[in-house]
């Protein structure tokens, strides 16, 4: 299954309460902003929030705090996502969790997915249940159907050879 199919199936669990505008707000943009506007806003915001620039503005008295560094890292992540058209489309549709999940599925917290699942719409929950039941059904039926196919192929061969004749071949 491709990532886009999994995202479609699990959209309700990934989207959560994130309305997919946090990154735009960090950069001071509207969701329909152009790539040029994103780069301009990034330059302006990075000059304002860069830890080195903050240290220069504060002078010798105040250093850079952990909050300043975390805020700049979040700003940098917002720019990285919005500057790439593919990642931006995923972000617009599924939020920050959708971007994290497509890049590294191990980063999504199962408890958050479960919480989002319980708050998802009925349609989203039904879609997930139908996909899971379909996959489990296929996993259970595949060995059975494979055995039936093998029996249909092997049974006539055994009847023709005469060796190891099953009782059903003796009836003519």
14 within domain boundaries: yes
Q: What is the pLDDT of residue 13?
A: 66
- 3-state secondary structure (DSSP) of residue 160: helix
The DSSP letter of residue 131 is H
- Are 22 and 74 found together in one domain? yes
Same domain, residue pair 97 and 148? no
Domain co-membership, 137 together with 115: no
Residue 163 and residue 90 in one domain: no
Predicted local distance difference test score (pLDDT) of residue 88? 92
85 and 12 share one domain: yes
**Cα separation values, 34 from 17, 104, 126, 149, Å:** 25, 27, 36, 56
Per-residue burial over 71-106, b if 16 or more Cβ lie within 10 Å, else e, is bbeebbebbebbeeeebbebbbbbbbbbbbbbeeee
Q: 140 near 41, Cβ under 8 Å?
A: no
Residue 130: phi and psi, rounded to 5, are -65, -40
Q: Is residue 125 part of a domain?
A: no
Query: According to the model, what pLDDT value does residue 7 have?
Result: 61
| Count of domains forming the chain | 2
List the domain range (segments joined by +) for residue 22.
3-120
Same domain flag for 23 and 98 = yes
Write the CB contacts of 111 (distance below 8 Å, at least 6 apart in sequence). Answer: none
Which tokens go with 113?
A: 């997915």
Domain with residue 38: its CATH number is: 1.10.287.110
Cα separation, 133 vs 123, whole angstroms: 15
Dump pLDDT digits (tens) for 134-147: 889 888 888 877 77
Flag residues of the chain having pLDDT under 70: 1-19, 60-62, 150-172
Task: With CA atoms as reference, report the closest residue to 113 among 92, 133, 131, 128.
Answer: 128
Listed residues 101, 120, 139: the one ending a domain? 120
Question: Among 120, 138, 154, which residue terminates a domain?
Answer: 120
Q: What is the pLDDT of residue 39?
A: 93
Token duo for residue 46: 């990075």
């Amino acid at each position: 299954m491709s990532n886009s199919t999994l995202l479609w199936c699990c959209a309700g669990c990934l989207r959560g309460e994130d309305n997919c505008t946090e990154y735009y707000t960090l950069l001071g943009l509207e969701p329909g902003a152009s790539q040029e506007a994103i780069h301009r806003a990034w330059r302006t915001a990075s000059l304002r929030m860069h830890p080195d620039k903050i240290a220069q503005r504060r002078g010798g008295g105040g250093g850079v705090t952990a909050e300043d560094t975390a805020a700049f890292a979040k700003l940098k992540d917002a720019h990285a996502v919005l500057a790439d058209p593919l990642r931006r489309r995923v972000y617009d549709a599924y939020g920050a969790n959708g971007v994290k999940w497509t890049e590294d599925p191990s980063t999504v917290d199962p408890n958050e997915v479960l919480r989002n699942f319980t708050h998802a719409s009925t349609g989203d929950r039904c879609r997930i249940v139908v996909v899971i039941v379909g996959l489990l059904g296929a996993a259970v039926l595949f060995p059975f159907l494979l055995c039936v196919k093998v029996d249909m192929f092997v049974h006539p061969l055994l009847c023709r050879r005469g060796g190891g004749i099953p009782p059903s071949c003796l009836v003519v």
